[in-house]
Chain A
Amino acid sequence: MKKKCMVSAILIGFSWALLTIPARGQETAGIFEQPLLITSAGQNAEVQIVAVLAKRAGLNYTLSKQATAADLENMKTLVLVLGASLKGLGAAGLDMDKERERVMALITAAQKAQVPLLCLHLGGETRRGPQTDDLIAEVLLLAKMVIVVKSGNGDGFFTKLCQPRNIPLVEVEKTADVQIPLQKAFK
C-alpha cells in the first residue's frame, strides 16, 4: 500500500513536471527583463492575482488594469492577463470592442518600443468563451511566451495557437503554480 502511494506520488510529480515543461528547444527561462507592466485583456479579476504572484516572485512590476501606451515608458516587458469578464468590463465602463481597441493599441506601442509580450491565462474554463477566445486568438500570436492554467486549455485551444508558431507554452495545474514559471521567465 505504502509502495503504491509512493509510486503514485512520483507519477503525479513527474506528470506535473512534464506539464510545466514546454516543447523541446523552446526557451522559457530568463527571456524577459524587468520592470514589467501588468494589465488585463478583458478586465478580468485574475490580473490582481498575477500582481500578487509577481510580488511573491520578487519581480519589479507595475499593475494598471487599463494601461495605455504611456504606461509602457521605462517598461521592458508587457504582461497581458487574458480573459473577458462582463462584470469587470461593466465596472470599468467598457465594452469588448473598446477593450480590444485599448489592448491592440497597447501591443502595437509595445512592439514599436521593442517591449516583448508575455501572456497569461489563469481563469480556467470559466474564463473562456467566444469573446475571450476571439481576443486571445488575436493577441496570442504576438506573444513571446504563454503561461496557462491547465483547465483553460482542456480543448487544446492554446496549444493549437502556440505550437505552429513555436511560441513556448507553459501549462500549470493551478493558479498558485504560475509563480514559478513567471519568476523563471525573467532575468
Chain B
Amino acid sequence: MSENAANNIMETKICTDAIVSELQKKKVHLFYCLECEELARNIAAESDHITLQSINWRSFADGFPNLFINNAHDIRGQHVAFLASFSSPAVIFEQISVIYLLPRLFVASFTLVLPFFPTGSFERMEEEGDVATAFTMARIVSNIPISRGGPTSVVIYDIHALQERFYFADQVLPLFETGIPLLTKRLQQLPETEKVIVAFPDDGAWKRFHKLLDHYPTVVCTKVREGDKRIVRLKEGNPAGCHVVIVDDLVQSGGTLIECQKVLAAHGAVKVSAYVTHGVFPKSSWERFTHKKNGLEEAFAYFWITDSCPQTVKAIGNKAPFEVLSLAGSIADALQI
C-alpha cells in the first residue's frame, strides 16, 4: 500500500511538472499581412503553440480595403498576434484597420509584431517645419485600442535610432529585439582559420551594436565631407589580414557599405562581408551587390540580411553573396513573453 502510494505520488509529480511546463506556454493565434505569409509559416513551424489564422484582403473599386477576419468568434479568450510589414505607405491603412480591430474581439492579449519599423530615414527635426514621420508612425501605433487583457505588446527589431523607443506612448508596450544573435551564431560557423573582426560604418552603428559584439575586435569608419563629396575614412582599428564584417541595422541603396568595403580592402582586409538586419534596398538596389559573372573579383564574401523585409527576401532569392537569417525563432520566443 505504501509502495503504491509512493509510486502514485511520483507519477503525479511527473505529470504535474509536465502539465505546468505545457501550461506555461501560451497558445498564440497568429494573423499576418499578405507579404508576410512565408515568415508567418516559418514562425508557426518553430512552435506547436502558434497557429496561423487568415484574413481576407480585398479592395473595393475605389481602392479602399475590403477586409474580413476569419473565425473572429473563435479567438475570444485567446492570445492573438498580428505580423505586420509597412513596406510602403500604400499598405499601412489596411493593416492598421486590422490591427485596430483585433484587440477589440475579446482576446486575452494582443501582440503586434513589426520586425522592421519603417520611416527610419526621417526621425528627427533639424529645422522647424521638418515632419518626423517616424513619430507619426509611433503615434498611430500608440493609438491601438487596449484589449481586455491589457495594452498591446509591440515587437520591433533593431529600431533605427535608439531614441525612437521613447516615441511610443504608454498605451502600448514596445519590446525592442535585435537580429545580432543570429549574426554571432552565423559567424561562429565560419572556418576557424579566418580571423573575423567587426566594422561599423559610422558612430551611430557603433553606439547601437558595440556592446552586443564586444568579443570581436572592432573597426570604426566615419563619413567626412570634402566639398560636395562624402568620403568614408577609417577612424580607428586595423583590418589588415582579417575577414571584416560590416554591421549596420539597415541598408538602403547601399552606397555607404560599398564605400566602406573599398576603404577596408585598401587597408589590407583579406575578405569583406556585411550584415544588416533590414535589407530595404529600394528600387532593386540590391543588384549592385550580386556576384557578377564578368570575371571581376567578388566584392563581398557574404551579405547577411534577415527576413524583416519580405519583398527583398523574395527578390534576391538565393543569389550570392546574399544569405537570409530568419527571425522566425526569435519572434516565436517573443510571442511567449
Q: Do A and B come from one complex?
A: no
Give B residues with C-beta under 8 Å from A. none
Q: Which residues of A contact B (CB under 8 A)?
A: none
